[in-house]
Amino acid sequence: MRIERTGPVEPLTPRIEAFLREALRGESMDDVQDTKELRIDYSCLGGLLAIELKALEDDGGERMENLASELRERDDWPMFLGSAPIQSFIQHTNDPEGLNRRTLERIGRGVVNHLKKANRQLEAHCQTFPRRDTVRALVLVNEDHETYDPHTVSYILWHAVRQMKDGKLRYEHVDLIFYFTERHAQVIDNRLAFPTVCIESQPIGDAPWKADVAEFFGRKWAAWNDVPLHMDGGDIAGFEAMEHVPEQMARSDAWLLNYRRQPYLRGLTKEALRDRFDEVTLVSMLWGLKGSPVDVPMADRMAGMQQFGDLIYEMGQRAIPITDFNHDHERALAAAARLGLPPHVIEWLDAFEAQRKG
């Protein structure tokens, strides 16, 4: 289900900091330790819960563009017009599984880097403030980036906290990871819902009471926001990125927004979509090429441009490369017949084809 939003977007991190202070009696360690010391952000619940707060402020766009540049050099990399989800490209290659791993690793770099730093900070905290019952947690906040959906981030972190190095857990000083995103949502019981994701590390099995702390944290967060708790138990994959609609946008962007709202091509078979593509392409040829036998009105030109954008977008969503719809003279003639174009247009198409081949 598509969800749109408008207006300014307030950062999420300050609200979570307020929650830690007000609902969990959080004490900022900046007020306790010297700024030169390696330290965490908050000690909560009288020292029971040690929290390092990290924000995903970078959308990862540069990392993903670097990866895309590398992948474009592959002989099997497909060709799409316009933009398309990277999965649409990958599934047409000879190694989709391997490329999916590379993509996930590239997305996960920013996430895992925060985990590495938090692991060191939580270790230092427990050495400076030793107690037997400390629960060590990383609170990771997505500052409004579509890339970091809860399903992907959960997968990355779940595997990361189970990695071994030299016979012990690589991130042994992290018990819990809470992940917050309000760019991703779904409607549950007629209310807009955001996920509260909690990833438990392996040592939790030896101290099950720490899982109770995680549940307490989740209930407190829900109560503090006066919303139902949606924590892990539901379908995390059901939380999808909301589309932010700006107050002003280019005409082409407005056209695509209208299409996403009413995807009238979605129900067409691939063959029917190809026929529509041939028709729109033919009309574009008639007003875009010199020597055209037909004067296409401006209103029809604009409509054709909009329809072409809709087609390219739909092809990208369906992972149909443009090479699947390469120009074919017989299909162009069939499109002319469906559009009821006069005989002299057919003659022009035949002459165009002869010149193209010749």
173 and 37 in a common domain: yes
Which of 181, 209, 244 represents a domain boundary (last residue)? 244
158 and 121 in a common domain: yes
255 and 240 in a common domain: no
| Residue 293 DSSP code | S
162 and 13 in a common domain: yes
Nearest-angstrom CA–CA distance, 237 and 330? 44
137 DSSP β-pair partners: 51, 176
* pLDDT above 60 (res 192): yes
Nearest-angstrom CA–CA distance, 220 and 229? 9
More confident residue, 203 or 191: 191
Tell the residue number behind the tokens 């067409």, with chain if given: 268
159 and 29 in a common domain: yes
Which of 244, 268, 283 represents a domain boundary (last residue)? 244
- Give the Cα-Cα-Cα angle 305, 69, 91 (nearest 5 degrees): 70
80 and 167 in a common domain: yes
Q: What is the reported pLDDT for 36?
A: 73
Q: In 3D, which of 133, 176, 138 has the Cα closest to residue 45?
A: 133
Nearest-angstrom CA–CA distance, 311 and 316? 9
Write out pLDDT tens, residues 221-232: 999 999 888 776
Q: What is the reported pLDDT for 27?
A: 97
Write out pLDDT tens, residues 57-96: 988 888 888 998 999 999 999 999 888 889 999 999 999 9
- Average confidence (pLDDT) over 234-245: 84
Q: Kindly report the three-state secondary structure assignment for every residue of 325-351.
A: HCCCHHHHHHHHHHHCCCHHHHHHHHH
Question: Helices (H) and strands (E) in the chain — how many of each?
Answer: 11, 13
Q: What is the reported pLDDT for 235?
A: 62
138 and 262 in a common domain: no
Which of 211, 227, 244 represents a domain boundary (last residue)? 244
Domain range for 177 is 4-244
Buried b (16+ CB within 10 A) or exposed e, 189-207: eeeebbbbbbbbbeebeee
Q: Which amino acid is at 347?
A: E
Nearest-angstrom CA–CA distance, 312 and 113? 37
226 and 282 in a common domain: no
Q: What is the reported pLDDT for 228?
A: 83
307 and 290 in a common domain: yes
pTM for this model (two decimals) = 0.90
Write out pLDDT tens, residues 291-312: 899 999 999 999 999 999 999 9
277 and 215 in a common domain: no
Q: How far from the centroid of its chain's Cα atoms is residue 328's Cα?
A: 36
Torsion of CA 63, 68, 69, 71, to 10 degrees: 130
Measured between its terminal Cα atoms, the distance across the chain in Å is 50
Nearest-angstrom CA–CA distance, 343 and 358? 23
233 and 256 in a common domain: no
Q: How many CB atoms lie within 10 A of CB 347?
A: 11
Q: What is the reported pLDDT for 230?
A: 79
CB 91 within 8 A of CB 335: no
Write out pLDDT tens, residues 133-160: 999 999 999 999 999 999 999 999 999 9
* pLDDT above 80 (res 237): no
- In angstroms, how far apart are the furthest CA atoms of the chain? 89
Nearest-angstrom CA–CA distance, 59 and 340? 49
Q: What is the DSSP string of 59-85?
A: -SHHHHHHHHHHHTTSTT----SS---
How many distinct structural domains can be found in the chain? 2
- Average confidence (pLDDT) over 319-343: 96
187 and 54 in a common domain: yes
> Taken in order 56, 224, 135, 230, is the CA torsion positive or negative?
negative
Q: What is the DSSP string of 9-36?
A: ---SHHHHHHHHHHHS--EEGGGTS-TT
